[in-house]
């Protein structure tokens, strides 16, 4: 620190945002986090779960990669466990590696029984909360099929908060604020009413959506997000897990601009 | 009883003398405290690389800057690891030397002691190892201040190119560039190889031409670059390396430029 960077107290008004400039000392430290952009989304039907993410990885205004996947299969019950994760890419990758390992270890520790979705959900919570004071800066959505053949979907914040009841839809990442309201309306029918025979308006009844309809919603959500968010685009990785057919993946092109 | 909690669980002062807590201190008397790298000192600029039909071409100039001083003009920033992998490094040069001369050398020595039947050390292995190392170091808040490109092949002889930086961020692609190159060279290289499929139809000559053109653009516009660079071609047959000097630069136009506005001669 040199003397030239020291500033004498001035009579200028002391705005809160001017504090650093007035203090004269600016500490320059290593920042262990960054944001690699992108968005993820999950929708649970009755007996299937769809997890999707765009394939762009960004660094500021740069595109690192147009083909970086965000959705990963981690094995488990009927090989149905899927994690989508977004935020700081290195932490996200580390989480997925650790979860894959946890699912594998579970098999060895429990007489070759596969990890259930609810167990994996709790495991992911423990993993995230274990890093409470140096968090893994990644938002996760975990999906799978439970032992009754029903779809389960869980969503997490970076320190592991999640709902054991699960969700019908979840979105995270750069464009989550664009996608979530759309899903509220189209998956949970929020603010939608139907007119009864007696002329009264009642809230539209919520029912699980069919797979082809969900896939349409996911594609629409991502093409919309691509239009309005610079960090979303290039490709859409769509992973579908069904109770009958297991896991399938497809990549749908998105705009590259 | 002792009414001072800080004395509880310790040998009694009246019996054993005053408690010597010196060994508990993280800073030993006389020793300096641990200083982690907070910013790079001697630095190398961009590394750029492109995949082509049979392999990968990678290039980095030979300058190591000390701030804005072009201090060391003959620094090799490409390292051949094993027979079929090249690692290119930008960022802090002392951290690069640690990775090149210590980490990777040790890795190669270890590999050469494993049995013949053992599958050879390939680019994906070197890459996973390095990305783990860089992520572990950032997680200890003591980063290796580098951006690395790893070029080579996977076990099916398919070209491999991937990047890792000081935060442990990893990604791959048909063309990659670190530092200034990400802004200046990558748009040019992506014109040649917009995606993986396109890179399979690119010849060695085309890829080399694109990399050489990009190195020239970087010398024009990056104030921390130099007109001499190393370039390497990695194919399943091995690594070919050469040192190049920039040629056919375009400066003739400059003599017609006068003043900053109204001045005409």
Query: Which has the higher per-residue pLDDT, A25 or B124?
Result: B124
B residues 157-196 closer than 8 Å to A (CB) = 163, 167-173, 182-183, 186, 195-196
Q: Token pair for residue A5?
A: 């960077």
For residue B178, indicate whether it is catalytic: no
Instruction: List Cβ neighbours of B218 (8 Å cut-off, separation of 6 or more).
Output: B45, B46, B48, B61, B180, B181, B184, B185, B225
Q: Give yes or no for residue A62 having a pLDDT over 60.
A: yes
Question: What tens digit of pLDDT does each residue of A197-246 get?
Answer: 998 999 999 999 999 999 999 999 999 999 999 999 999 999 999 999 99
Which domains, ranges and CATH numbers included, belong to chain A?
36-253 (3.60.20.10)
What residue in B sits closest to A66 (Cα-Cα)? B173
Contact B170, B162 (CB under 8 A): yes
- Find the closest chain A residue to B133 by CA distance: A90
Question: What's the pTM?
Answer: 0.86
Percent of chain A surpassing pLDDT 70:
89
Q: Nearest to residue A143, comparing CAs of A65, A225, A227, A84?
A: A84
Which pLDDT value is given to residue B16?
Answer: 79
Task: Please provide the DSSP assignment of B77-94 as one string.
Answer: -EEEETTTEEEEEEEEHH
Helix (H, G, I), strand (E, B) or coil at B99: helix
With a cut of 0.90, is the ipTM above it?
A: no
- Chain A: nearest CA to B155, how far in angstroms? 21
pLDDT at B30: 53
Summarize the confidence of residues A111-120 as an average pLDDT.
Answer: 96
Q: Does B57 have pLDDT greater than 60?
A: yes
pLDDT higher for B97 or A196? B97
Residue B69 scores a pLDDT above 90: yes
Say what the pLDDT of residue B252 is. 96
Q: Using the predicted structure, report yes or no on whether residue B135 has a pLDDT greater than 90.
A: yes
Identify the band that residue A4 occupies on the pLDDT scale cut at 50, 70 and 90: very low
User: What is residue A143's predicted lDDT score, i.e. its pLDDT?
Assistant: 97
B141 touches chain A (CB under 8 A): yes
> Which residues in chain A touch residue B172, judged by CB atoms under 8 angstroms apart?
65, 67-68
Strands (E), B62-199: 64-66, 69-72, 78-81, 85-92, 146-153, 159-165, 170-172, 175-177
Residue B35 has pLDDT above 60, yes or no: no
Give the residue among B81, B244, B72, B243 at the shortest CA–CA distance from B149: B81
For residue A82, the model assigns a pLDDT of: 98
Which comes out higher in pLDDT, residue B37 or A74? A74
pLDDT for position B31: 55
| Gap from A30 CA to chain B (nearest CA, Å) | 5
Q: Is the pLDDT of residue A167 over 70?
A: yes
| pLDDT score at B7 | 66
Instruction: Report pLDDT for A25.
Output: 53
Domains parsed from chain B with CATH numbers: 46-240 (3.60.20.10)
The reply to whether residue B169 touches residue A89, judged by beta carbons under 8 angstroms, is: yes
Q: B184-237 pLDDT, tens per residue?
A: 999 999 999 999 999 999 999 999 999 999 999 999 999 999 999 999 999 999
Q: Identify the band that residue B29 occupies on the pLDDT scale cut at 50, 70 and 90.
A: low
Q: Is the confidence at residue B246, as pLDDT, over 70?
A: yes
- Token pair 């495991």 in the structure block, residue: A123
Average of pLDDT values for A117-127?
Answer: 98
Q: Is the pLDDT of residue A122 over 70?
A: yes
Sorting pLDDT into bands at 50, 70 and 90, what band is B264? Answer: confident
Out of A30, A36, A88, closest to residue B38 by CB: A30
Range A60-76 average pLDDT? 96
Is B167's CB within 8 Å of A36's CB? no
Span A179-205, mean pLDDT? Answer: 94
User: What pLDDT, on the 0 to 100 scale, is given for residue B109?
Assistant: 92
In the numeric block, which tokens belong to residue B179? 């530092």
Minimum Cα–Cα distance from A30: chain B residue: B38
* Mean model confidence pLDDT for chain B: 91
């Amino acid at each position: 620190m040199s003397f030239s960077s020291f500033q004498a107290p001035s009579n200028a008004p002391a705005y809160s945002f001017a504090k650093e400039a007035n203090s004269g000392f600016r500490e320059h430290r290593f920042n262990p986090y960054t944001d690699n952009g992108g968005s993820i989304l999950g929708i649970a039907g009755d007996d299937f779960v769809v997890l999707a993410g765009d394939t762009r990885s960004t660094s500021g205004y740069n595109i690192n990669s147009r083909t970086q996947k965000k959705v990963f299969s981690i094995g488990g019950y009927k090989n149905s466990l899927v994690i989508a994760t977004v935020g700081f890419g290195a932490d996200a990758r580390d989480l997925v590696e650790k979860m894959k390992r946890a699912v594998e270890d579970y098999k060895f520790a429990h007489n070759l029984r596969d990890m259930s979705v609810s167990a994996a959900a709790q495991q992911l919570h423990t993993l995230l909360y274990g890093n409470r004071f140096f968090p893994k800066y990644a938002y996760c959505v975990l999906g799978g099929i439970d032992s009754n053949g029903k779809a389960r979907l869980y969503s997490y914040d970076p320190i592991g908060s999640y709902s054991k009841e699960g969700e019908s839809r979840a979105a995270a990442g750069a464009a989550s604020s664009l996608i979530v309201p759309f899903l509220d309306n189209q998956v949970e029918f929020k603010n939608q009413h139907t007119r009864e025979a007696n002329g009264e308006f009642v809230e539209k009844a919520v029912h699980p959506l069919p797979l082809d309809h969900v896939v349409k919603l996911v594609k629409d959500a991502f093409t919309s997000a691509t239009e309005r968010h610079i960090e979303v685009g290039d490709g859409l990785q769509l992973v579908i897990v069904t109770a009958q057919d297991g896991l399938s993946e497809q990549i749908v092109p998105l705009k590259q601009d | 009883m002792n009414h001072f909690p800080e004395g509880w669980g310790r040998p009694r002062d009246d019996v054993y003398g005053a408690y010597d807590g010196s060994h508990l201190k993280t800073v030993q008397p006389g020793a300096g405290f641990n200083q982690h790298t907070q910013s790079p000192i001697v630095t190398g600029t961009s590394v750029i690389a492109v995949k082509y039909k049979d392999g990968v071409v990678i290039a980095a100039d030979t300058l190591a800057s000390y701030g804005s001083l072009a201090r060391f003009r003959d620094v090799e920033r490409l390292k051949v690891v094993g027979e079929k992998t090249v690692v290119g490094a930008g960022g802090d040069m002392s951290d690069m030397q640690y990775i090149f001369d210590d980490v990777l050398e040790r890795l190669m020595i270890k590999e050469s002691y494993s049995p013949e039947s053992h599958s050879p050390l390939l680019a994906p292995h070197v890459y996973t190892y390095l990305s783990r190392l860089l992520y572990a170091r950032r997680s200890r808040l003591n980063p290796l201040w580098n951006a690395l490109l790893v070029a080579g092949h996977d076990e099916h002889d398919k070209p491999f190119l991937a990047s890792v930086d000081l935060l442990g961020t990893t990604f791959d692609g048909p063309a990659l560039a670190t530092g200034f190159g990400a802004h200046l060279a990558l748009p040019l290289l992506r014109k040649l190889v917009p995606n993986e499929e396109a890179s399979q139809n690119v010849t060695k000559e085309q890829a080399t031409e694109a990399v050489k053109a990009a190195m020239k653009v970087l010398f024009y516009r990056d104030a921390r670059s130099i007109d001499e660079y190393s370039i390497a071609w990695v194919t399943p047959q091995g690594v070919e390396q050469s040192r190049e000097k920039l040629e056919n630069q375009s400066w003739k136009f400059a003599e017609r430029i006068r003043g900053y506005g109204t001045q005409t001669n």
